[in-house]
């Protein structure tokens, strides 16, 4: 979140700097420095900013890759819940991770709980305005563009079923962009522990979308009940 973002969010609320500083529990002078870009927005203020200004978690800063070391299904479930995913609403808490970051790190996992994997297409659907300029290059860098492309395809299908033309247009753009770098090698949708029997079955039974992205999965739009 830049200083300009901070100022625009405050103006949208029709607050003076004094009003905002009081709600954020900082001095007006310090807030002025933040808005002018003379001080970086500290992570300790992020949760307060999201709540006070009612801005999207897409403005949250990205964390270094090492901060994701040792994460498990429970962590990703909690991240999805904090971002508003209905499937983990019982884990709802203030968001502290950028949805693009959560999506990338989850897609990089060799194995995920099926409930978590089903929640991933919800992220590009619900946060279609996420930072694609960060997400797409990092997906390519980590060779998960096929997994991301599949998640975007499902998100786009959900948007089509809801007649959300603007969202369909945006998602289709990034779907096409990812398709240009689609990998030919076979992969799974975060389920590398599949047995050879399961892999053979999925090669025959997987839906066309999974086949297009060279993924072994039977996940379809119809299974995304929480979206």
Helix, coil or strand: residue 201: helix
Q: Is the CA virtual torsion 135, 137, 138, 142 positive or negative?
A: positive
What is the reported pLDDT for 63? 86
How far apart, in Å, are the Cα atoms of 130 and each of 66, 134, 156, 181, 207? Answer: 22, 9, 14, 20, 27
Task: Show the tokens assigned to 54.
Answer: 């009612």
CA–CA separation, 18 vs 192, rounded Å? 53
CA–CA separation, 181 vs 17, rounded Å? 46
Q: What is the 3-state secondary structure (H, E, C) of 134-176?
A: HHHHHHHHCCCHHHHHHHHHHHHHHHHHCCCHHHHHHHHHHHH
Does position 93 have pLDDT exceeding 80, yes or no? no
pLDDT tens, residue by residue, 107-144: 999 999 999 999 999 999 999 999 999 999 999 999 99
pLDDT tens, residue by residue, 46-83: 778 877 887 788 988 888 899 898 899 999 999 999 99
Q: Which range has the top average pLDDT, 14-23, 30-39, 60-69, 129-138?
A: 129-138
What is the reported pLDDT for 42? 79
What is the reported pLDDT for 178? 98
Assign domain 3-55 to its CATH architecture.
Orthogonal Bundle (1.10)
What is the reported pLDDT for 120? 98
What is the reported pLDDT for 184? 97
- Give this prediction's pTM: 0.84
The domain spans of the chain are 3-55, 65-223
Indicate the pLDDT class of residue 200, thresholds 50, 70 and 90: very high
pLDDT tens, residue by residue, 180-195: 999 999 999 999 999 9
What is the reported pLDDT for 56? 84
Q: Which residues contact 63 (CB under 8 A, 6 or more apart)?
A: 97, 101
What is the reported pLDDT for 180? 96
Kindly report the backbone phi and psi dihedral angles of residue 111, in degrees, each rounded to the nearest multiple of 5, phi listed first: -140, 135
Does position 92 have pLDDT exceeding 80, yes or no? no
CA–CA separation, 182 vs 184, rounded Å? 7
What is the reported pLDDT for 1? 65
Q: What percent of the chain has pLDDT over 70?
A: 99
What is the reported pLDDT for 197? 98
How far apart, in Å, are the Cα atoms of 21 and each of 30, 36, 39? Answer: 8, 14, 15
Q: What angle do CA 103, 174, 190 make, to 5 degrees?
A: 35
User: What average pLDDT does range 3-18 have in this prediction?
Assistant: 86
Check: CB of residue 187 under 8 Å from CB of residue 109: no
């Amino acid at each position: 979140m830049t200083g300009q973002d901070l100022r625009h969010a405050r103006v949208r609320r029709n607050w003076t700097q004094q009003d905002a500083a009081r709600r954020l529990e900082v001095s007006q002078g310090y807030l002025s420095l933040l808005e002018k870009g003379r001080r970086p927005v500290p992570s300790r203020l992020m949760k307060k900013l999201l709540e006070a200004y009612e801005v999207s978690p897409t403005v949250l800063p990205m964390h270094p890759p090492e901060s994701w070391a040792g994460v498990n299904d429970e962590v990703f479930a909690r991240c999805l819940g904090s971002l508003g995913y209905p499937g983990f609403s019982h884990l709802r808490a203030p968001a502290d991770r950028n949805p693009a970051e959560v999506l990338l790190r989850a897609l990089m996992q060799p194995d995920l709980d099926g409930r978590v994997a089903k929640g991933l297409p919800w992220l590009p659907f619900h946060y279609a305005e996420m930072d694609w300029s960060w997400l797409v290059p990092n997906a390519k860098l980590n060779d998960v563009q096929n997994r991301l492309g599949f998640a975007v395809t499902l998100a786009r299908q959900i948007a089509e079923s809801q007649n959300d033309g603007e969202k369909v247009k945006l998602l289709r753009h990034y779907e096409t962009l990812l398709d240009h770098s689609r990998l030919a090698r076979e992969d799974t949708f975060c389920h590398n522990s599949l047995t050879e029997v399961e892999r053979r079955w999925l090669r025959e039974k997987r839906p066309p979308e999974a086949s297009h992205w060279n993924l072994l999965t039977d996940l379809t739009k119809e299974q995304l009940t929480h979206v």
